[in-house]
Chains A and B, each alone.
Chain A
Amino acid sequence: MLKLLHAELLKIVVKPRSYIGFAAITVIVLLIEFALWLDGQSYLQFILQTLEQSFDVQGNILNGNLVAFIILQTLIVQMPLLVALISGDLVSGEAAMGTIRLLLTKPFTRGEILWAKFFAASIYVFLLILWLGLLALGIGLLVFGPGDLTVLKSDELIIVRAGDTLWRFFAAFGIAFLSLSVVSAFSLMLSCFTDNSIGPIITAMAVIILFTIIGTLEVPLFDLIKPFLFTTHMIVWRNVFEHPLDWPLIRNSSAILLLHIAVFLSVAFYYFKRKDIYN
């Protein structure tokens, strides 16, 4: 199994597209940090103008924690697309190249092969989040310094004390990992259905975009659908920064995300084990 995992990781490493995600995250994070370093005070002035009419807001608001939070808000919505780019190709890409037949002649069961592919994709997701964390939080704290985190919402602000932020970021990264694993399992499932590599990637991206749009629009009809979309539960990482914490909501959404992974993987395993290989 470890040999298989090693081989799958090697396949991801040699593919140039695996680095698109890391490159995109690096460019976006550094760009946001540079923009906030240059003009963050005016951004904050715009946000706080209503409150500053009544209060003298004291303290270092533009700090590394706020910068990391803004980056997470911006990027976590886009990251599923970067994950789909890799995991949507894991089976179908091999089918398209004709290497899947060779792989299946090896002394491993189809189940083991699919597990190895999913674990390899999960390691990729983990590294992607780790890279995001290092750039967003690490460089953010280094450049902007520590301080209380101001959680920005469209209709309220939540001030989280500096000493209470680090574990929240780790929890948020943990939930982000779970969310991206759903995307990984979903695109892996789609990947089992076809023999061309582009189809599952595009389908996974289209589904994520569609679900995100439905989640963004405040239409009463969509409110009925939203609880059934995995993208609705993927943003539960933000609730980790609430005060007080809504643990039942976080637990519920995390369980739903795990359930999605289980369902997508079950379908993938069921189909892949019975799949006829023609290429």
Chain B
Amino acid sequence: MIRCILIVMCTLCLHTLSGQASPKRLIQEVNRKFAAVKDYSAVLNMRFDIPSVRMEPVQGKVFYKQPDKFRIRAEGILFMPRQNPYFTLQSIRDTNAYTAIFAGEEVIAGARAAVVNVIPYDAGGELILARLWIDASKKLILKSQLTTKSNGTIGVEYVYGTAQNFALPDKMIFSIDVARFKIPKAVAVDINSKTNVQKSPPKGTGTIELFFSAYKLNQQLSDEVFRAE
């Protein structure tokens, strides 16, 4: 009887260990692809669909340098996610800083993806929980859902093309929770206008689409590029 219980327990332990090691190995393979990119620049087109904000698409240039330097140069006003677009990859770089658990499989945009939950050990960090949908065959993150301390839940979808060998997407779609925008009429000096209460729900989701093109990789970008003007 005792022998039977021991065998069952050992099997369970082995299963758990293999379950933990496997998603981390998958993440490491994704990281390895992205690690080949020391820096890059690309043309960036941005489209915004934010509740209570009407604005036209903007074109600019984007610069990135390992480990976490990121800058967009564009003329005019932009609404960007508070974290840089590679926050997901930065958060999972140190595989010893979190535990990763398999949470099944799903089909994302026609591709089978392993669902991996990432729970950081450091409870005081910005990231509380990350859920990643990883294409195991291509070693690419197809979708991520980050629960952050300061920004709530941020969803990111990735579409790959020319630079997929470096885990660089051609398109990123950010979905961000947005509270209803409301300011007193006296502050906006918006008298005589009719308030449209039905138009805006108390909370909505803002979408920012980033289209990357003309990637130039590993040009040894200087730090000057990332300095604020």
Contacts and interface: CB of A to CB of B under 8 A. Distances in A.
Interface of A: 43, 46-47, 50-51, 53-61, 70, 73-74, 77, 147-148, 150, 152-159, 161-162, 212, 215-216, 218, 223, 231-232, 235, 238, 243
A57 B177 contact: no
Given A51-B181, A54-B177, A54-B206, A156 B76 contact: no
A57 B78 contact: yes
Contact of B188 (A47, A53, A162): A47
Which of A51, A70, A155, A232 is packed against the most chain B CB atoms within 10 Å? A155
Contacts of A154: 182-185, 187-188, 190, 193, 195
Contact of A53 (B179, B189, B190): B179
Interface string B74-100: 111111111000000000000000000
A59 B76 CA distance: 5
A230 to B, nearest CB: 12
Nearest to A152: B188
7 contacts: A51-B50, A55-B50, A57-B78, A70-B189, A77-B192, A162-B76, A215-B191
A152 B199 CA distance: 17
Nearest to B72: A58
Given A155-B195, A157-B181, A57 B54 contact: no
Sort chain B's interface into a size bin: 35 or more
B166 to A, nearest CB: 25
Interface in B165-220: 176-185, 187-196, 199-200, 206
A77 B191 contact: yes
A147 B77 contact: yes
Contacts, number: 127
Contacts of A60: 77
B195 to A, nearest CB: 6
B151 interface: yes
Nearest to B208: A55
A54 B152 CA distance: 8
Which of B52, B75, B192 is packed against the most chain A CB atoms within 10 Å? B192
B54 A58 contact: no
Nearest to B55: A159
Which of A54, A231, A235 is packed against the most chain B CB atoms within 10 Å? A54
A22 B87 CA distance: 55
Interface in B45-78: 50, 52-56, 72, 74-78
| Among all A-B residue pairs, the 7 with the closest Cβ atoms | A159-B55, A59-B77, A73-B189, A148-B76, A152-B188, A58-B78, A156-B52
A232 B78 contact: no
A132 to B, nearest CB: 15
Which of B81, B182, B183 is packed against the most chain A CB atoms within 10 Å? B183
Nearest to B51: A156
A243 B79 CA distance: 17
Contacts of A162: 75-76
Given A153-B193, A215-B192, A218-B194, A158 B55 contact: yes
A148 B77 contact: yes
B178 A54 contact: yes
A159 B53 contact: yes
A51 B181 CA distance: 7
A36 B206 CA distance: 29
A74 B180 CA distance: 25
A243 B54 contact: yes
Contact of B178 (A51, A73, A77, A150): A51
A58 B183 CA distance: 20
Nearest to A47: B183
B77 to A, nearest CB: 4
B30 to A, nearest CB: 25
Contacts of B179: 50, 53-54
B77 A58 contact: yes
Contacts of A148: 76-77
Contacts of B78: 57-59
Nearest to A216: B191
Contacts of A232: 192
Given A46-B183, A154-B195, 6 more contacts: A43-B187, A50-B180, A157-B53, A216-B191, A223-B194, A243-B54
